[in-house]
Structure 1
Amino acid sequence: MKEMLTIAMPKGRIFDEAVELLRQAGFNLPPEFEDSRKLIIDVEQEQFRFILAKPMDVPTYVEHGVADLGIAGKDVMLEEERDVYELLDLKISACYLAVAGLPNTKMNDVAPKVASKYPNVAAAYFREQGEQVEIIKLNGSIELAPIIGLSDRIVDIVSTGKTLVENGLVEYERIADITSRLIVNPVSYRTKDERISEIVDKLTDVIHGVRS
C-alpha cells in the first residue's frame, strides 16, 4: 500500500495549475477536486491528503511537519525563509517581483518609504542597493500606497503589469523572477524518501516534456 502523504497547497491560480500538473504526471485526482470547499481533501486512491491554505502559510505547515510537501511561490519562499527543502521548480504561475511607483517621481531624500506585503524581500533589496528606507507592511491593495502618499515606492508581484497601468503606476526595477516550487519537510524527506522521489520524478518528466 502507498504511504500517505500530506500536501499543502494555496487556493487560486497556483492550485489550479498544480492540480493540472499532477494530473499530467499520472496522479488520479477526482474531477470534482477543484470544486470542493473543504480545507482538507483526502484522495484515497493516491494516498494523498491536501491541506488548502493561504499562500504565506504553506511553508509554515511544511516546516512544522503537518504537511510533508507543499507547493509555494518563490516569492513566499524568499519572504518567509522557512526551514524546508526546495525540491523542484514546477515552472507554473510565472510572475516577478518589482519595484513600482508613480511615474517621473524620485524617492524622498529625507525619509523614503516603501510599502509591500513582502517586507523582508523589500528591505533586503534596498539594503543591497545601499538605500536606507522605511518599510511599511501592507496586506493588500499595495498599489494604493503611492497614490495616497503613504509611500514613495511599492514592492509587489507583477504578472501582466495591467494592474500597475490601471492605477497609474510604472515599474522601476525588476527584483526577481517567480515560479511555484515543490518544497518538503526535512524529516519527511528522509523518512518518506521513496514516495517523494517517485512524485518528483513524475513531475520532472512532465515539466521537461518526457513521455513514458
Structure 2
Amino acid sequence: MKPTIALTKGRLEKQFLAFLQSKGYDIAPLTDKGRKLQIETDDFFAVFAKGVDVATYVEHGIADLGIVGEDILLEFEPDVYDLLPLPFGKCRLAIAGEPEGPRSFGKQRIATKFPNITTKYFRERGKSVDIVKLEGSVELAPLLGLADNIVDIVETGNTLKENGLVVKEEMMSISARCIANRNSLKLKKSVLAPLIDSFRIEEAAI
C-alpha cells in the first residue's frame, strides 16, 4: 500500500518537488500534472491543497503525511504529529508597518492573517492589541488607515519595501514541516519509514 502525501500548492509545492528530485525521486508525474489535484507516482499518492487544508487532510487520515508551512501549525494547531523541519520554505513572521508609524506596541490595531499567533505573541509580552483579521494583502491595512501595523510572513522583504513598509520586530523564524497522521504512524510504519527516513537526511543541516 502506497502512502499518501498532501502537498501545499504553490511555492512550497515547487520547493518540495525540487527537494524530492535531489533525493532521487522521479517527480515527472508531479510536474506534468496539469490541473489534476491527485497524482500517483511509483512511490506514493500525492494530493494538492491549500496549506490549512493539507493539515486537515492529514488530521483526518485522508493523507498519511503532509508538507505544510510551520505558520499553519502554529495558527490552527491541528491534531497531527509534527515530524521534522525541512530545508526549504524558510521565512520570518514579523511585525511591520510604515517607518513613521507607531513603534511602541500598546493598544494598537494589528492587521494579520494569523490572529491566534499574534494574540498569543502580544499576550505573552503583556501587550494588549486589537486584531483585524484579513485574508488578502495585509500590506494595504496601514496604508489605508485600517491598522497601525501588520503581522505577516516575510521572505525577502520586497513586498514590504515596494509598499513603503519596514520590519519593526521579528517574531519568529519558520520553515516547511513534514507532518503525519498519528494513526498512520502506527498502522503504516513499515510503509512510511523509508519515505520519512529519506527526508531526515537533511535534518542535521537545518
TM norm. shorter chain > 0.5: yes
Equivalent residue in structure 1 for 2:36, among 23, 38, 46: 38
**Structure-2 change in CA distance of 1:110 and 1:197 (3 Å):** closer
Mapped partners of 1:160, 1:109: distance in 2: 24
Match of 1:103 in 2: 99
Mapped partners of 2:104, 2:202: distance in 1: 48
Mapped partners of 1:110, 1:33: distance in 2: 48
**Structure-2 change in CA distance of 1:135 and 1:198 (3 Å):** same
Equivalent residue in structure 2 for 1:70, among 59, 63, 66: 66
Equivalent residue in structure 1 for 2:179, among 175, 179, 183: 183
**Structure-2 change in CA distance of 1:206 and 1:200 (3 Å):** same
Match of 1:122 in 2: 118
Deviation at 1:194, TM superposition (A): 1.7
8 Å Cα contact 2:107/2:127 also seen in 1: no
Mapped partners of 2:32, 2:173: distance in 1: 30
Letter in 2 for 1:152: D
Match of 1:26 in 2: 24
Where in structure 2 are the equivalents of 1:58-207 lying within 5 Å? 58-106=54-102, 111-206=107-202
**Structure-2 change in CA distance of 1:109 and 1:60 (3 Å):** closer
* Structure 2 gaps, min length 5: none
Q: Percent identity?
A: 44
- Give the TM-score normalised by structure 2: 0.93
**Structure-2 change in CA distance of 1:182 and 1:104 (3 Å):** same
- 1:15-55 deviation digits (Å, cap 9, x = unpaired): 111112122223233x2522421011111x22x11110011
Mapped partners of 1:109, 1:203: distance in 2: 40
8 Å Cα contact 2:138/2:150 also seen in 1: yes
- Matched residue of 1:130: which SS? coil
Letter in 1 for 2:77: E
